[in-house]
Amino acid sequence: MASQFEPRDPDFKARVAQSFAQQSIMQTIGASLLDVIPGQVEIELPFDQRLTQQDGFIHAGVSATIMDSACGYAALSLMPENARVLSIEFKINLLAPAAGDRFVAVGKVIKPGRSVFVAEAQLFASSRDSRKLVATMGATLMAVIADD
Amino acid sequence: MASQFEPRDPDFKARVAQSFAQQSIMQTIGASLLDVIPGQVEIELPFDQRLTQQDGFIHAGVSATIMDSACGYAALSLMPENARVLSIEFKINLLAPAAGDRFVAVGKVIKPGRSVFVAEAQLFASSRDSRKLVATMGATLMAVIADD
Amino acid sequence: MASQFEPRDPDFKARVAQSFAQQSIMQTIGASLLDVIPGQVEIELPFDQRLTQQDGFIHAGVSATIMDSACGYAALSLMPENARVLSIEFKINLLAPAAGDRFVAVGKVIKPGRSVFVAEAQLFASSRDSRKLVATMGATLMAVIADD
Amino acid sequence: MASQFEPRDPDFKARVAQSFAQQSIMQTIGASLLDVIPGQVEIELPFDQRLTQQDGFIHAGVSATIMDSACGYAALSLMPENARVLSIEFKINLLAPAAGDRFVAVGKVIKPGRSVFVAEAQLFASSRDSRKLVATMGATLMAVIADD
């Protein structure tokens, strides 16, 4: 994949991967980092019955968890080396039940800024023979600079 | 606590508790149902290092998980016996890091409807000597009637 | 433009145009209907100093006005003949000041439903030699059937 | 009304009033500033047929316009003298048709910050003998410091 963005830190991939590895929740739910390009990050989650709501689908909050991290790391990939990323807010629209064998959250920066970043995520549910958009997110993230 | 709402199903408490018990994710993260009155539900989550993001705070998606369920069950408590509840969308504002020993999500219906319910949730973080509002949510829920 | 959606009412264009003509606010702000295809509607607004906020840009609420109508009519274009459309909620992210000579809101349905529709809108600001994305919206709409 | 906030600029009222007077859109729709206390602002709008959607109610975007300004000025009332306020995002839930003789948007800061403020607004519709909550908003605002 090509990216429209120029990263400010050439080591953005390693920095995102390192931070992702520190998110204990990702191991707890079984999520992994699929792909990182400047301004875009994909996170994968296999179906797990331990993550379900009352009807046996993945809980909307679990969907939000990987979509929020996908947005946050998409933003972090464009930030300078000494920056941390903080979610300010996000909104999720649930389009269909999160049913499937495997889920991929694709987070993309749509507006980078000095301190405020806007990102969007899509959540796709896959099973053997189909791939379906099941949720969308709009998020605002903030760059917190270490020296601040 | 008193409620401004009249439940349509006198067994709303049992119905909410039963559905909550079927949300595997609640056991996975260690959340429990604290209180259910018509149109208002509280869910408690003790701090757990397994649920954290890169800075050691509870991940925003985990906060969203218990706030979404608090909103959903607040709505379900006002629905007729044969209804299921579905989240259509929610938005969360993260006011402060989710740091503390214990978290309580309070979900309240602000507008019940025939099929569409609007609810709000607040997330409080408590430690030995303080209680702090750390996130707010606005959510839209839908009543799905079994016979539909 | 081609559409991925099949309209249920062959007269969807006339129906959208008629409803748009009944929105007095559109005449008050000077907005006009540009284009209607199944599931997608464009609304245009020329810059007008009467619509500005304190810095001379178009007020975010005015941007929201045409984006909300673009989403609503994108949804209405896919509804049956006897349906009315109602906005349940929308969220707008303001990416850049709404500065320019002319603004176009493009609303698209991303998930049609029996009663609930999810749509997104983008707002572009144009001046002589540039076109810029200045805001995005995510919206939930409802079909209200006359016989209900 | 008492406020829980201490303003940083003793002239916050005059500063809010001056900025409000520069929002041409407020005169265009007929809105006026009702009340300003630290962290809370009320804006009033009489019903006007020129502001309606297809069913004769106030258009959701017009509701959003006064709610966004109420949130923005609630935030500005707590900012230092050299700061300007910018809306980053807002979300509105429409609880009931905006029908009535007169509308009041009440905006309140729920979390002030150095640069990011979170605010909420409620919109009440009044007619001779009733007052009804018709919409709620959650908004994120930013302080832009002149010397930046």
Q: Which residues does chain D have within 8 Å of residue A118's beta carbon, measured at their own beta carbons?
A: 89
- A117 to chain D, closest Cα gap in Å: 10
Q: Which residues does chain B have within 8 Å of residue C118's beta carbon, measured at their own beta carbons?
A: 89
- Is-contact A110 A122, C-beta < 8 A? no
Token reading at D39: 């962290």
pTM of the model: 0.96
Please give the pLDDT value at position A147.
60
- Is-contact A63 A134, C-beta < 8 A? yes
CA angle D101, D102, D104 (to 5 degrees): 160
- Is-contact B135 B95, C-beta < 8 A? yes
Chain C residue with CA closest to A136: the answer is C138
- D134 to chain A, closest Cα gap in Å: 21
Q: Does A116 touch chain D (CB under 8 A)?
A: yes
Q: Which residues does chain C have within 8 Å of residue A120's beta carbon, measured at their own beta carbons?
A: 136
Please give the pLDDT value at position D146.
74
Please give the pLDDT value at position C147.
60
β partners of residue A33? A43
Mean pLDDT, all residues of chain C? 95
Compute the Cα dihedral for C141, C145, C146, C147 and give only its sign.
Answer: negative
Residues of chain D short of pLDDT 50, as ranges, are 148
Q: Does B88 touch chain C (CB under 8 A)?
A: yes
- D93 to chain A, closest Cα gap in Å: 13
Mean pLDDT, all residues of chain B? 95
Q: Tell me: the pLDDT tens digits for C102-147?
A: 999 999 999 999 999 999 999 999 998 899 999 999 999 999 987 6
Q: Does C110 touch chain A (CB under 8 A)?
A: yes
| Residue B66 DSSP SS3 | helix
Q: Tell me: the pLDDT tens digits for A84-110?
A: 999 999 999 999 999 999 999 999 999
CB contact under 8 A, A118 and C136: yes
Q: ipTM, 2 decimals?
A: 0.96
Most confident segment among A16-20, B125-129, C1-5: A16-20
Please give the pLDDT value at position A26.
98
Q: Does D116 touch chain C (CB under 8 A)?
A: no
Please give the pLDDT value at position C2.
63
Phi and psi, residue A67, nearest 5°: -70, -40
- B120 to chain D, closest Cα gap in Å: 10
Please give the pLDDT value at position C148.
47
What distance separates the 2 farthest-apart alpha carbons in chain B? 50
β partners of residue B46? B102
Phi-psi region of B56 (alpha: psi -120 to 50; beta: other; left: phi over 0): left
Compute the Cα dihedral for A68, A74, A77, A81 and give only its sign.
Answer: negative
Chain C residue with CA closest to B91: the answer is C91
Q: Does A93 touch chain C (CB under 8 A)?
A: yes
Q: Does C94 touch chain B (CB under 8 A)?
A: no
Q: How confident is the model at residue C85 (pLDDT cuts 50, 70, 90)?
A: very high
Token reading at B26: 């609640």
Phi and psi, residue C82, nearest 5°: -90, 15
The residue whose two tokens read 């410091």 is D145
- Is-contact D41 D33, C-beta < 8 A? yes
CB contact under 8 A, B25 and A66: no
Residues of chain A short of pLDDT 50, as ranges, are 148
Q: Which amino acid, residue B146?
A: A
Please give the pLDDT value at position A129.
87
Average pLDDT over residues B90-115: 97
CB contact under 8 A, D111 and B95: yes
Please give the pLDDT value at position D3.
76
- What number of C-beta contacts closer than 8 Å exist between C and D? 113
For β-strands B83-94 and B40-46, DSSP reports them as unpaired
Please give the pLDDT value at position D2.
62
Please give the pLDDT value at position D147.
60
Task: State the Cα–Cα distance between residues B124 and C58, nearest whole angstrom.
Answer: 37
